Structures are given as C-alpha cells and as structure tokens.
Amino acid sequence: MKNITTPDKTTQELENDVTAKQIRFIDLYCSKYGELSATECAIRAGYSRTSAYQRAHELLNPKVSPATAQIIHDRLMGNMEVWMLNKEKHMANLCRIQEAAKEKGQYGVVAKCEELKGKVQGFYVERNLNLNAEVSAEDSKERIRRMYDREEYEEFSKAEIEHIFGPEPTPEERAATKKAKAKKKKEDEELMREMEKYQEDRKRERDRKYGLNKPTNIGKFDG
C-alpha cells in the first residue's frame, strides 16, 4: 500500500509523531467511520466545540497534518481489506452459521443459510437488483454526508485526486491537455468519416458488380 504523505515512515513510526489527543481523534474517526462526522470525532477526542471543525479539517488534510492523515489513510485501507468479502470467505461463513444452527435446532436459520448459499452461487436472480443498486448508492451518499460537511469532503477528495493523478496541473498543462483532446477528437471524427466513405464505396462496388442497381421491368404492364 502506498503512503500518501510520508513515504519514509511506517504507520507505527508515524504514531510516535502525533499527540495523545490526535491519536484519540484517529481512533474515533476510524472506528466510527460512517457513523460520526469528523467534527464530532474531534469534539469527543477532547477538542473544544468552537475549534473542533477547524481541527478536524486540519487533521484530515495531508498538507497540514501529514502524519495523522497518513495514519487514518492506512487504517481505513486496512479496515476495507477486512470488510471486503470474497465468495469463498462468504460461503465459509454461511456454512459455519448453518452448522451451528443445526446443532441448536434452529431450522429456520438453516434454511435461510441454504438460500443465501444458493444466491452466492448465482442460483437465483434478484428481480429488484436495480432497485438495490440505487438504494446502495443513496446509502453511500448518506454515509458521506454524515462523515463530512461539504468543505471537508472537498478537501478529502482533492487529496485523493492528487494521490491518484498527481499534483494539480498548471494552467499551461491544462491548456495543452485540452488541445490534445480536441486534436484527438478531430482525428477520431475524420477516421469515422473515412470509414463511412469506405463502406459506401464498397457497397456501390458490390451493387455494380452484381447488377443490383440495374432497373427492372417487373411490375410494368403495357395494356
């Protein structure tokens, strides 16, 4: 996993560079991820209510607080690896639950586990798949709204964009990129026109070769 702020230090080494109050903020923010806003985490960590918003904003900003931002990034990435389920792990969990339910005589749970195992293996098609996708997307938006206010999320998103794409381009670089895209679009359009012309020429040649363009007298009647 790449470090986004301090590439020469491990997470453990970074934790030696932060204060106890900052560690409390990190613990709360990562353990309550999606439940508490960054400002609420700062308040619970011991920052005053009047400064909590600003302190949370700074602690999440890798340019202002590189150590805390890196620790949070590493912890959340580690949590995501734990949260993510692959098919094999999911099936193993269902089998364990099913066996435990059998021993306790909880046959409703056993039947439900069997149904879920079938769904995991694709035996059932969910008719409300699109609806579930829409709900999941809306849930994700709601989680983000609970975690951040607009300014915090913009700052966090900007840091992630820089991590993925590099520093923000200069006006000259943006202009060069825009020019290159316009040139590529023009070339693509010209290529499409050439392909269409080629297809039309081929069709005309086939029609001429097989006499498809010759007029016929079918249907005419000289009374």
pLDDT at 131: 46
Q: Is residue 49 situated within a structural domain?
A: yes
Query: What predicted TM-score, i.e. pTM, was given to this entire model?
Result: 0.39
Establish if 221 belongs to a structural domain: no
pLDDT in the model for residue 128: 47
In a domain, 153, yes or no: yes
The reply to whether 135 falls in a domain is yes
Domain that holds residue 69: 11-83
Both tokens of 208, joined, read 């001429």
For residues 141 and 199, membership in a common domain is answered with no
Amino acid 117: pLDDT: 79
Taking phi over 0 as left and psi of -120 to 50 as alpha, with beta for the rest, 48 belongs to: beta
The verdict on 158 and 191 lying in the same domain is no
Is 137 a domain residue?
yes
Does 108 lie in the same domain as 62?
A: no
How many domains does one find in the chain? Answer: 3
| Residue 2, pLDDT score | 42
Question: What is the mean pLDDT, run by run of 10 residues, along the chain of 223 residues?
Answer: 51 76 91 83 93 91 88 79 63 80 81 79 56 57 68 67 72 85 82 76 76 57 47
